[in-house]
Structure 1
Amino acid sequence: MRYRLDVVAPTVLDAVRFAGGWVYDRVMAGWDVTVLVGSDEDVRPLEILGADTLDLEQVLASWEQRPHPQTVAVAADLFDLDDRVRRGVLGALEQGATEVTLWGTPRSSDLDSSVDSVEHRLSAAARAFKAQALAAAGAVTEPVGATETFCCGMSASVAADLVPAS
């Protein structure tokens, strides 16, 4: 069985901008990566990174029946604004079997003591593919950094690619 990462994003550009390098590196490490975004989005930038996509609203409607991934990555804005996303994240943290990773800064105090800052150092290939995905999403001039920073809600990552941010 392969590891699974589900990425919950408000837009394709948001997923690429904040987690695109990590998505690419996890795909190349053999993970099944699915990005959940709106059905009206052009998903080509995510295909460049090797990710599959599903309609966010359809998945949220049947979230409880969906098999739990080893890792779920969520935009903090969605955590703050969508009760279904917040319940799913908090439920995963309570169960303890799913690594919960967020990008951005959650405004909710629900996570204050349960998340730590971590970062992923992008491979050279991830930086190149992320740049191409950003260009395909219309963010041609956006620079690609060497790391992506997240808040992680599990004491030990299921993969060694997330390390404490200094």
Structure 2
Amino acid sequence: MKGEKAGGAVTYRMHVIAGDAAELAANAGGLIVDRMMSGWRVSAQLLENSDAPGDNRSVQILGAELVEDMESSAGEEGEQCVLVIGADSYDRVIADDARQLPAGLAEVLVWGRSPDPTCTFGHNLSAAALAFKTQAVAAAQLTDGETADEVAVAESFTSMNVKGGGVPLRA
């Protein structure tokens, strides 16, 4: 079983940080659903407007756990954790009092303006991920940019490759 440590199985966790549910659903909704379906534990942290009516619903549709901060979603020792974050939030986290990213990350994936265009890759959404992402986008009531009728079938990320090899996410 995936979660058993006795057999030497590695467990995976993904923590997603976004400004609000609309940003989360539009940029990483498909990756969230595909990782959940692969047995990953996924948590989401919203930096702004986390009390907006569609926020909780959007996160629930995607299957993630809504948390206040990354520490409240901390997993077991030995668990591989991937941080997924928007470029603006990434800049804010790094610049905030010269703070570092949390220790123990296997990889950091950034959407939006790429800090390193040579490390960009696309994630093609499964049919299920596309369906759930479309519903989450609609629940977040996106009014500017992407609408539920225009949800992309791929998402683009820059891998910051925190620990050398990182966690392969191109499945």
- Smaller-chain TM-score range? 0.7 to 0.9
Give distance in 2, aligned partners of 1:85 and 1:116: 27
Q: Deviation at 1:9?
A: 0.7
**Equivalent of 2:36 in 27, 30, 39:** 27
Give distance in 1, aligned partners of 2:98 and 2:122: 22
Q: Deviations over 1:90-136 (max 9, x none)?
A: x65xx6x5111001115xxxx549x7101111001111111011111
Give distance in 2, aligned partners of 1:86 and 1:48: 35
Give distance in 1, aligned partners of 2:91 and 2:14: 21
Question: Aligned-pair RMSD on alpha carbons?
Answer: 2.9
Structure 2 match to 1:146: 153
Q: Would the alpha carbon gap of residues 33 and 66 (structure 1) be closer, same or farther in structure 2, given more than 3 Å must change? A: closer
Matched, 1:46 2:59: yes
Which residue identity lines up with residue 108 of structure 2 in the other structure?
A: V
- Give percent identity, aligned residues only: 33
**Equivalent of 2:82 in 35, 55, 71:** 71
Give distance in 2, aligned partners of 1:46 and 1:99: 22
Higher helix proportion, which one? 1
Number of aligned residue pairs: give it: 148
SS at 1:43's partner residue? Answer: helix
Q: Deviations over 1:31-77 (max 9, x none)?
A: 0000011442431111101111112xxx26x69x9557520001110
Q: Would the alpha carbon gap of residues 127 and 112 (structure 1) be closer, same or farther in structure 2, given more than 3 Å must change? A: closer
Give distance in 1, aligned partners of 2:98 and 2:61: 29
Q: Would the alpha carbon gap of residues 88 and 23 (structure 1) be closer, same or farther in structure 2, given more than 3 Å must change? A: farther
Q: Is the 8 A contact 2:16 2:84 kept in 1?
A: yes
- Give the TM-score, by structure 1 length: 0.75
Runs of 4+ aligned structure 1 residues displaced above 4 Å come to 65-69
SS at 1:70's partner residue? Answer: strand
Structure 2 match to 1:102: 110
Q: Which is greater in Rg?
A: 2
Could you list the runs of 5+ residues in structure 1 that have no partner in the other structure?
none
SS at 1:98's partner residue? Answer: strand
Give distance in 1, aligned partners of 2:111 and 2:97: 14
Matched, 1:80 2:83: no
Could you list the runs of 5+ residues in structure 2 that have no partner in the other structure?
4-10
